Every structure is written in C-alpha cells, then in structure tokens.
Amino acid sequence: MFTDITKRKEAEEKLRESEEKYRNIVETANEGIGVIDNEFKLTYVNKKLEEMIGYSTEELIGKSMWFFLSEESKPIVSLIFERGLQNFENSKLKYIRKDGSYLWAQTNAKPIFDNDGKFMCITTMLTDITKQKEAEEYLEKIEIVRKKEIHHRIKNNLQVISSLLDLQAAQFRNRKNIKDSEVLNAFRESQNRVVSMALIHEELYRGGEIDTLDFLEYIKELADNLCQTYRLGDADIRLNMDLEENTFFDMDTAVPLGMIVNELVSNSFKYAFTDRDRGEIQIKLLSDENKKCKIEGCQSTSYTLTVSDNGVGIPENMDIENLDSLGLQLVISLVDQLDGELELKRDNGTEFTIRFTVTETNNQALETASQQLIK
C-alpha cells in the first residue's frame, strides 16, 4: 500500500526554507535579537546580541534577563511588566557587558501568546545607542557647565553692585548736614536686597543642581549675612530657624521668597528691639500635606513661611498695605507674585505668615525622576 505524501513533503520543505530564510535574516541583522521564555530566561540570541553584550551563545542561553540589566534600568523594566508590556517600545535601557562596561540600547519587545491566550515568551530587539547616549551626556555636562558659569557671573555682577552701593554710602558717613542714618540705611537695605539675590546664584553655582535651589542652605547663609549687617552693639538678638530639610525651589519661587525673608528679618532687626538688649527672631518654613491640584495631571505642595519676633510689635492702628515702607510694599508685591496669602499677627511681637503652593505637572515630575534614574 502506498500513500502519496508529496504535498506534505513539499509543505515541510517550504517551511524549512522559510525558517532558514528568516533565521538568516535574524542572524545577519544589525540589531541584537533574543527570545525570553515565561521564566524570563534567554532561550535564543543572534550573533549581533553576542557581540553587543560580550557573552557567547552558550553563556547567554538559560541566563535570566535581570542578570544583564543595570540597577538603574531594573525598576523601569519592572514597571513595564506591571503594566503588561504595553510600553516596551523604544525604551532606552542600560545593560551590563561581560567586561563590566555599559551598553545603552533602544529596546523593543513583543509578548507572544498561544491560542489559549497563555503567555509563552517575549521577542526582544536591541539597537545599540551607546555612542548616542555618550554624546547626549557630554552635551548635558556642557550645558551644566554653561549654566553654572552663568550663575557664577550673575553672582559676581551682583556683588559688584553691592560693593558700589557700599562705596557710595561711605561718602555720606562723615557729612554733618545730611541725615546720616536715613541715607546709610537706604543704601544698606538696597545692598542687602542685592546680596539676597547674589546668594541664590552662589548656591546654584556651588550645588549639584543648576535649576533648583536647596532653600535650607540658602536661608542659613542669608541669615548669617543679616546678623552681621544688623549686629546691634551688645544687644543679644538671636535668630532661630526651623526649616524643613530637602526643600528645593526653582528660581521663580526662590528669588521672591528669599527677598521676603530678607525684608521681614531686616525689619525685625531694625525696629522690633528699640531700647531692648535682648530678643528673638524666628524663621519657619514647613510643608503642608499635599493637596490635589485643580488642574488634571499635576501635583502640588503647600508651604507655610513664618517670620516672627518678640519685639515691640506693629501698632493695631497701622495698615501695612498703606505704609510708606518700601520693604513692606515689596513683601506684599512678592507674595502676590507667588500667588500666596499674607497674614499678620501682632500678639507678643510681630508674626508674618505667608502661605503659598508650588505646583508641578506629573510629566515634569516623571521626566525629572527618569533623569535621576539614568544618572
């Protein structure tokens, strides 16, 4: 008995030829290609992947995919798996070569399921972008250096302005026909305002970040400068601070906030302790619980800044919004600039409370977190 299996043999031959054809394509591809089973172990790698990662096929087969991932990339891949591999396209991941060097690769992956919908394996394709990433990192370093140099030059220019104000004030110190205190105080106040801005640029230049400021360190320096400026003879005026650590603000928040602190602390030194030999000034900055932003896709943090003293206080019949004081007018204007609220208490001294909110979109936050992960 004979059975004609010609068609079946022809189909098998075509299938073999097709498999051979696609195998040749995979083996000669410029991308590293691999297959990962349902236990996340490599079951197949092409020649290019061998070259990229530095291991032979024998060393790669059976290895867990986590073995080759850098610590920075593992959380990113874990998040992608949690989301069902939906975003595993064009992901820039960092791998570890056999010699310990790093391989940056644009990674695409596609899950394969059987007819019953059961997960079987993942096919991955890696494109070497190491040189591209090195070029990007080099440009980022240049940009950091450029911005730091800008901050450095701005700080120097502001210090020059401060010195010029000091020299100008010196011309009035020995004149008898000029109200010495009024002129010198005006110059000193202007000088302190310039210094408060110069310290921000100095802190940005010195710190690791170039766009955000460690406000705790900045306020400490500003407070030291004010204490030296307004040292009142033998009077014991103490400046205490209660500032939340790891509080970072960008320039749009840090500059007006720093000038507010400068004006209020200066006023306390100048007016709160007249005819007194001791006193206390306090600066507090605390964050409140996060509040939901009204705009979708953003997060906000509310802060409360308090500057208080136990001095003579501001009389009840004085309206701070209608005073001739440039300093308090500046404070009101700066609080408006922050979209904040200003509250004044006159019990047992003077207490200014400023409440404001810093808002950041989720996209910006995610981008910042990703950059920190990559670094």
Identify the pLDDT of residue 168: 58
Predicted pLDDT of residue 353: 94
Interacting residues of 272 by C-beta distance below 8 A, sequence separation 6+: 279, 281, 309, 310, 311, 312, 313, 349, 350
pLDDT for the residue 372: 41
**Residue 13 pLDDT > 80:** no
* Residues ≥6 apart with Cβ < 8 Å to 228: none
Q: Looking at the predicted structure, is the pLDDT value of residue 355 above 90?
A: yes
312 neighbors 227 (Cβ within 8 angstroms): no
- Average the pLDDT over 166-178 and give the result: 60
- In percent, the amount of the chain with pLDDT more than 70 equals 67
Q: Are 93 and 79 in contact (CB under 8 A)?
A: no
> What is the mean pLDDT of the segment spanning 51-67?
87
Average pLDDT of the segment spanning 56-81: 85
Give the pLDDT score at 176: 58
Task: Please list, in sequence order, all residues whose beta carbon lies within 8 angstroms of the beta carbon of residue 242, skipping any fewer than 6 positions away.
Answer: 282, 283, 284, 285, 286
Task: Read off the pTM.
Answer: 0.51
Average pLDDT (212-220) is: 82
Q: Is the pLDDT of residue 69 over 70?
A: yes
* Residue 366 confidence (pLDDT): 36
pLDDT at 234: 65
- Whether the pLDDT of residue 352 is over 90: the answer is yes
pLDDT attached to residue 169: 62
Confidence at residue 52, expressed as pLDDT on a 0 to 100 scale: 87
Residue type, 60: L
pLDDT digits (tens, 9 = 90+) for 185-197: 666 667 676 777 6
Between 165 and 276, where is the model more confident? 276
CB-based contacts of 73: which residues, under 8 Å, 6+ apart? Answer: 93, 94, 95
Grade residue 356 by pLDDT with cuts at 50, 70 and 90: very high
Instruction: Give the Å distances, CA to CA, from 2 to 5, 9, 12, 222, 279.
Output: 9, 15, 19, 100, 114
pLDDT of residue 284: 92
Q: How far apart are the first and last CA of the chain?
A: 73
Q: Which helix or strand (DSSP H or E) is residue 80 part of?
A: helix 74-82
Whole-number Å distance between alpha carbons of 355 and 305: 6
pLDDT higher than 80, residue 220: yes
What is the C-alpha to C-alpha distance for residues 327 and 339, in angstroms, rounded to an integer? 19
pLDDT at 178: 54
> How do residues 107-132 score in pLDDT, each as one tens digit?
888 888 877 778 788 888 888 888 88
Quick one: average pLDDT of 218-222? 83
Closest by Cα among 143, 358, 142 to 247: 358
Residue 24 has pLDDT above 50, yes or no: yes
**What H or E segment, with its residue span, contains residue 27?**
helix 6-27
pLDDT of 298 > 60? The answer is no
Q: Which of 205-219, 274-288, 289-303 has the highest mean pLDDT?
A: 274-288
Please state the rounded mean pLDDT for residues 29-53.
Answer: 84
CA separation for the pair 300, 253 (Å, rounded): 14
* Model confidence band, residue 215 (pLDDT cutoffs 50, 70, 90): confident
DSSP string computed for 225-274: HHHHHT--TT-EEEEEEEE-SS-EEEHHHHHHHHHHHHHHHHHIIIIITT
The pLDDT confidence band at residue 153, using thresholds 50, 70 and 90, is: low
Beta carbons of 357 and 301 less than 8 angstroms apart: yes
For residue 33, the surrounding DSSP H or E stretch is strand 32-37
Contacts of 368 (CB under 8 A, 6+ apart): none
pLDDT higher than 60, residue 147? yes
According to the model, what pLDDT value does residue 175 have? Answer: 60
Task: Quote the pLDDT of residue 129.
Answer: 85
- What count of Cα atoms within 13 Å lies in the side-chain half-sphere of residue 143? 9
Rounded to 5 degrees, φ, ψ at 283 are: -120, 125
Quick one: pLDDT band at residue 375, thresholds 50, 70, 90?
A: very low
pLDDT band at 164 (very low <50, low <70, confident <90, very high): low
